[in-house]
Amino acid sequence: RYISTFRPSVKCEVEKNKAQWKTMGPAKVAVPSPKNFLQKHSKEPKLPARKKEQDSKKLPALSVPRRTDHPVMGIQTEKNFINTNAVAAITGLPKKPQPIYVDRRQGDKYLLETSGLVPKYIKKKDYGVTPKYITRRNEEIKRAQKEYEASIMEDLKKRAMKRLSDEERRSLLQGLKKNWEEVYREFQGLSVELDTIPKKIHKEKLELQMKQLEHDIEVIEKHKVIYIANE
């Protein structure tokens, strides 16, 4: 059997370090000196020492006079302040009072300028001017209406239809209203008591005619453009 030549040395090292970590921590620990005890704030980071300002930097110039400065003496003016003030008071315009408003009879006073009651908006440059987006929208609506009418006219030409003029539409509307008045007059002339079947049938017929005429009048008044087929 093979036996290593380093076996005795390895065995000696194992037996030597076998119980080295058997206790809590290493067997031999350097004991701190009692003079080096933990002090307050000793573990906090310390800032570097503050450097003194250099003497070459000059202080900024002050806007106030120094304590050692003295005012200039002996200067006099020839202006007569009494006469000047009197002339200014005589020739000056009187001070206009500020406009105010009071919310009630014994209420507090407020400035009228900042109250919102003064119509300042009428002084704007664009006051009363139609906004650009509305003008652009109206133009788009007119263009769309023209395109729609052109397409309708082409379709009508294909279908052999014509458009009623304003006079024909007006005369048609007047005729329908006249027919309604005649039917209504005949309806008013019916007897109050409907005791027979023919009377009831006649009343229902007049009501249907009036209802149809009212529908036709409403349609013609609602639509300004009317197309009819050529006969």
The pLDDT value recorded for residue 153 is 79
* pLDDT value for 136: 93
> Is 134 part of a structural domain of the chain?
yes
Which position has the token pair 């397409």? 151
Instruction: Please tell me whether residues 181 and 213 are part of one structural domain.
Output: yes
Give the per-residue pLDDT at 128. 84
Q: How far apart are CA 227 and CA 153, in angstroms?
A: 10
Per the structure, the count of domains in the chain is: 2
Averaged pLDDT for residues 20-47 = 79
Residues 150 and 197 in one domain: no
Is residue 3 in some structural domain? no
Average pLDDT, the chain: 84
Position 91 in a domain = no
Residue 191: pLDDT band with limits 50, 70, 90: confident
**Domain enclosing residue 190, as ranges:** 162-228
Q: Considering 127, 144, 160, which residue would you say is the last residue of a domain? A: 160
**pLDDT tens column, 41-56:** 888 988 888 877 665 5
| C-beta neighbour count of 210 within 10 angstroms | 16
Q: What tokens were used for 61?
A: 């110039």
Q: What share of the chain has pLDDT > 90, as a percent?
A: 16
Asked whether residue 156 falls in the same domain as residue 180, the answer is no
42 assigned to some structural domain: no
- Whether 188 and 150 share a structural domain: no
Give 53-111 pLDDT, tens digit per residue.
Answer: 665 566 677 678 888 888 888 888 888 999 999 999 899 888 888 889 888 888 888 88
pTM comes to 0.33
The pLDDT score that the predictor gives to residue 14 is 81
At residue 106, the pLDDT reads 83
Does 105 map to a domain? Answer: yes
The position carrying tokens 């027919």 is 179
CA 130 to chain centre: 22
The amino acid at residue 109 is K
Using one digit for the tens of pLDDT, what is the confidence trace for 135-162?
A: 999 999 999 999 988 888 787 776 666 7
Pair (118, 173) in one structural domain: no
Name the more confident of 122 and 159: 122
Q: What is the pLDDT of residue 22?
A: 64
Instruction: Kindly give the residue spans of alpha helices, DSSP state H, lying in the chain.
Output: 7-16, 81-91, 132-159, 166-188, 197-222
List, as one string, the DSSP characters of 83-138. HHHHHHHHHSPPPPPPPEEESSTT--EEESTTSS-S-GGGGSTTTTPPPHHHHHHH
Q: Among 160, 193, 212, where does a domain finish?
A: 160
CA 35 to CA 169: how far, in whole Å? 121
Same domain, 135 and 166: no
pLDDT of residue 187: 87
